Amino acid sequence: MAKVNLRKVVKKYGALQVVHGIDLEIDDNEFVVLVGPSGCGKSTTLRMIAGLEAISDGEISIGERVVNDLPPRNRNISMVFQNYALYPHMTVRENLGFSLKIAKRPQEEIDRAVEAAAQILSLSEYMDRKPGALSGGQRQRVAMGRAIVRHPDVFLFDEPLSNLDAKLRTQMRTEIKKLHQKVKSTIVYVTHDQVEAMTLADRIVIMRDGHIEQVGTPLEVFETPANTFVATFIGSPPMNLLAGRVADGEIAIEGGPQIAVPDPFSGKVVNGQEVILGFRSDNLMPAGHAMPMEGGFTEFDMKVDLSEPLGTETLLFGSLAGKEVQAKMLNPRPVSDGEELRFQLDLTRCHLFDANSQQSLR
């Protein structure tokens, strides 16, 4: 149980800098998810916390202890790897007990800890098999069990679910969440899957190109994305973004409708400013198939190019100002391709970004 602090942490490979001085404070027992596209430096950051990569500059501390140069074994951490990294020549039992055996704990203690972990993860019937004889999900559980056994200060997860099929992934996600509740420990979790991030995290850290773009609770990052990158990365389908210019309290979408500047942004724009209007498909709905709009909204016509019925709702693909735009239809009825519908855009839930900095204008 410990805090993890990253201060101005830099990672360079020769001349190539992959992590650009990030700052991050992770609280005791907090479940933090690092998320971002591949190559954003999230795994590197995790591996620096683990001590598997040396840091080039800055400082990392676990608990109150600076661990910059400490080897992994002295950091009291556990890690679950993407490929599980089970020891192929050891049985499940040996895999689970390995770290305790290395620490020269008495055998009974090892047995007890291993049994306990096996209980938690329902591994008891596979204890004498070797990893080669286990299924993907079972291996995943062994990998997690191995991490639990040590009672570490911090759990590190490096994309642990990416090798599982969709169904198993959902199931394991729940188990990890439960696990966190049971073992109450600091967890740093890396994934490129924003759904995983949203469902698991206490706080999400969104990274791009070695920088932290935004840190916040899942709802914060969803509802108030700091910039267009976060806006498109979090949430599915991604936020619609349309470029426009502010003119007299309205945003003129080039070759599209004029849309009033949404309330939260009204004092924050000046005439002639290049902006980007962002809204999620949940907030653009055909009239008659929409949620009741409480605040201001605007209406315009749009041709539907393609529709994807999902059952309770239908995803509609149209285009505005030459850009593809996604909308949702509640209580769906069949829509034929090319049909023109009247859409309502909920202005209270719109986002506005500066076109130059891409930062939110909120």
Q: Which residues bind other proteins (CB under 8 A)?
A: 50-52, 65-74, 77-79, 81-89, 98-99, 102-103, 130-133, 146, 150, 156
Nearer to other proteins, 153 or 346 (CB): 153
Shortest Cβ 31–other proteins spacing (Å):
19
Nearer to other proteins, 70 or 355 (CB): 70
Shortest Cβ 177–other proteins spacing (Å):
22
Nearer to other proteins, 62 or 204 (CB): 62
Question: What are the Cα distances from residue 237, in Å, to 194, 207, 291?
Answer: 11, 19, 18
Nearer to other proteins, 150 or 180 (CB): 150
The 3 state secondary structure assigned to the chain is CCCEEEEEEEEEECCEEEEEEEEEEECCCCEEEEECCCCCCHHHHHHHHHCCCCCCEEEEEECCEECCCCCHHHCCEEEECCCCCCCCCCCHHHHHHHHHHHCCCCHHHHHHHHHHHHHHCCCHHHCCCCHHHCCHHHHHHHHHHHHHHCCCCEEEEECCCCCCCHHHHHHHHHHHHHHHHHHCCEEEEEECCHHHHHHHCCEEEEEECCEEEEEECHHHHHHCCCEHHHHHHCCCCCCEEEEEEEECCEEEECCCCEEECCHHHHHHCCCCCEEEEEECHHHEEECCCCCCCCCCEEEEEEEEEEEEECCCEEEEEEEECCEEEEEEEECCCCCCCCCEEEEEEEHHHCEEEECCCCEECC
Nearer to other proteins, 16 or 270 (CB): 16
Shortest Cβ 111–other proteins spacing (Å):
17
Shortest Cβ 164–other proteins spacing (Å):
16
Shortest Cβ 191–other proteins spacing (Å):
17
Shortest Cβ 70–other proteins spacing (Å):
6
Nearer to other proteins, 138 or 298 (CB): 138
Q: Which of 316, 362, 354 is nearest to 223 (CA)?
A: 362
Nearer to other proteins, 54 or 306 (CB): 54
Dist. CA 327–CA 88, nearest whole Å: 49
Shortest Cβ 160–other proteins spacing (Å):
12
Nearer to other proteins, 85 or 120 (CB): 85
Shortest Cβ 134–other proteins spacing (Å):
11
**For the sheet containing 186-191, what is the strand order?**
77-80, 154-158, 186-191, 31-35, 203-208, 211-216
Nearer to other proteins, 74 or 122 (CB): 74
Shortest Cβ 13–other proteins spacing (Å):
11
b vs e for 57-72, b when ≥16 Cβ sit within 10 Å of the residue's Cβ? Answer: ebebbbbeeebeeeee
